[in-house]
Amino acid sequence: MDDFFTKKNCDRCGCPLTKGRIMSMLNTDCICLECKAKEKFHSRYEEAKQAELEEIRKGNYNYAGLLQQGKITDKLYEQILAIRDLGQYNMLNVAAIQKEAYQRKYFELVNLIEEDLKVYMSFILYGIR
């Protein structure tokens, strides 16, 4: 948040923020305009927008957002990217991803898919960590 104006790259896709930046409606990510356009299709976007308005009405101007998760830890991030980089799987094929994760002893990822599928999907589809 403090580095919103000094950040050089998008928190979601990592691209340079040369064409503009905006705060995500879903969490406190500083994102590029392409990621902003994309997040409007998130199934909980409207819900997040209402929640934000509600908090502002209550006087809370520091609402972290409906999807402020922080659940995709650095370890999970590395595990997901390691499987993605194999180029063998559609990352939406969760059964296959979970099986591969199990074989690689990526138990954090196995558990994430089992217990928090929405968090996994939000990361795969929108880059929300």
Examine residue 12 and tell whether it contacts Zn ion (CB under 5 A). yes
Nearest CB to Zn ion, comparing residues 113 and 128: 128
Examine residue 76 and tell whether it contacts Zn ion (CB under 5 A). no
Contact region with Zn ion (CB under 5 A), list: 32-40, 43-51, 74-82, 112-120? 32-40
Examine residue 25 and tell whether it contacts Zn ion (CB under 5 A). no
Examine residue 13 and tell whether it contacts Zn ion (CB under 5 A). yes
Residues 49/56, Cβ–Cβ less than 8 Å: no
Examine residue 32 and tell whether it contacts Zn ion (CB under 5 A). yes
Neighbours of 87 (CB within 10 A): 6
Query: What residues form DSSP beta bridges with 30?
Result: 23
Q: Which of residues 35-64 bind Zn ion (CB under 5 A)?
A: 35
* Cα 4 to Cα 10, 15, 24, 89, distances in angstroms: 10, 15, 11, 34
Nearest CB to Zn ion, comparing residues 11 and 100: 11
Nearest CB to Zn ion, comparing residues 12 and 129: 12
Contacts of 106 (CB under 8 A, 6+ apart): 79, 82, 83
d(CA 68, CA 115): 17
Site size with Zn ion, rule: CB under 5 A: 5
89 secondary structure, DSSP code: S
Q: Considering the complex, what minimum distance in angstroms separates the CB of residue 1 from Zn ion?
A: 17
Can you give the binding site for Zn ion, defined by CB under 5 A? 10, 12-13, 32, 35
